[in-house]
């Protein structure tokens, strides 16, 4: 299969944000598939305006420039791609059982038995003349450090080193991740939907959740994710479609996770 993602990889020591840099490349007409990696980001971004800060030289922080052959309405088909590629990489390489949290967080069960975030995805896009000009997939995976050094985060975030008990080969993780992304991207470009695969890995369907979305706090049962990537929240007989938000699982059902 043709290598699209990672045909060219530019490695940086320190940047403000690989996503910001990737947007500059996109604006300059760079073809799709370019991957930018950084050992350190001084202004790394997360979703919902949050910062993404990890110790220098410890983790995977990368952005991928894509120019998908998708209409604006179908751009959300790319949503599950990065989270699924991350999940497969950790499962196949390390035998872990990652759980996805909508929209794009990757969770692992820590030694204290709670699900904690180990990776996140930030998707940004550029539109021109009502068409998708570019999409940047920004991926952050916490690898070789310990959350014991970050007590404020340790209740809800983890690292692979904390889970596996030893440092890991970051280059090997990156290689497998890019290979997985290539496979998923080819499938999406061929018109395939990743919805069912995504739903199988989603740890919160059927569970009672609280969602902070667009300035509101909503509570209900996470019922489904539709083809556009929207979360369907059931509130009694009402159904609410959510396109963005931060989910907290109020009652965890271990069977589902």
Q: How many residues bind ligand BTN (CB under 6 A)?
A: 20
152 CA to centre of own chain: 22
- The secondary structure of residue 147, as a DSSP letter, is G
Indicate the residue among 52 and 185 with the shorter CB distance to ligand BTN: 52
CA neighbours within 13 Å on the CB side: how many for 233?
Answer: 22
Tokens encoding 203: 């740890």
CB of residue 56 to ligand BTN, shortest distance in Å: 13
Indicate the residue among 46 and 167 with the shorter CB distance to ligand BTN: 46
CB of residue 18 to ligand BTN, shortest distance in Å: 4
Residue nearest to ligand BTN (CB): 120
Query: Footprint of ligand BTN on residues 97-156 (CB under 6 A)?
Result: 105, 120-122, 138-140
CB of residue 130 to ligand BTN, shortest distance in Å: 26
- Build a one-symbol-per-residue string for 55-84: x at contacts with ligand BTN by CB under 6 A, - elsewhere: ------xxx---------------------
Segment near ligand BTN (CB under 6 A); pick from 16-24, 71-79, 158-166, 246-254: 16-24
CA distance readout (Å), 88 to 178, 180, 194, 207, 252:
11, 7, 13, 24, 23
Q: What are phi and psi of 106, to 5 degrees?
A: -110, 125
Radius of gyration, CA atoms only, the chain: 18
CA neighbours within 13 Å on the CB side: how many for 190?
Answer: 8
If one counts every other C-beta atom within 10 angstroms of the C-beta of residue 246, the result is 16
Indicate the residue among 11 and 50 with the shorter CB distance to ligand BTN: 50
Q: Do residues 18 and 41 touch, judged by C-beta distance below 8 A?
A: yes
Question: Where along the sequence are the contacts to ligand BTN (CB under 6 A)?
Answer: 17-19, 41, 44-47, 50, 52, 61-63, 105, 120-122, 138-140
């Amino acid at each position: 299969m043709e290598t699209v993602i990672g045909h060219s990889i530019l490695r940086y020591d320190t940047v403000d944000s690989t996503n910001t840099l990737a947007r500059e490349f996109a604006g300059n007409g760079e073809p799709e598939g370019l991957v930018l990696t950084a050992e350190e980001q001084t202004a790394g971004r997360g979703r919902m305006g949050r910062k993404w800060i990890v110790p220098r030289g410890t983790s995977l922080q990368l952005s991928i420039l894509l120019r998908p052959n998708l209409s604006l309405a179908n751009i959300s088909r790319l949503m599950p791609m990065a989270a699924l590629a991350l999940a497969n990489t950790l499962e196949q390489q390390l035998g872990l059982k990652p759980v996805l949290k909508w929209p794009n967080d990757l969770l692992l069960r820590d030694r204290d038995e709670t699900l904690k975030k180990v990776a996140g995805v930030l998707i940004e896009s550029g539109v021109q003349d009502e068409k998708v000009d570019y999409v940047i997939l920004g991926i952050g995976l916490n690898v070789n450090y310990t959350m014991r050094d970050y007590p404020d985060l340790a209740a809800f975030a983890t690292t692979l080193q904390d889970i596996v008990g030893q440092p890991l080969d970051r280059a090997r993780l990156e290689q497998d991740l890019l290979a997985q992304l290539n496979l998923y991207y080819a499938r999406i470009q061929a018109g395939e939907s990743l919805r069912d695969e995504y739903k199988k890995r989603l740890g919160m369907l059927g569970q009672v959740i609280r969602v902070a979305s667009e300035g509101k706090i909503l509570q209900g049962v996470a019922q489904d994710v539709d083809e556009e990537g929207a979360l369907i929240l059931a509130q009694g007989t009402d159904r609410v479609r959510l396109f963005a938000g931060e989910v907290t699982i109020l009652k965890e059902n271990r069977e589902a996770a």
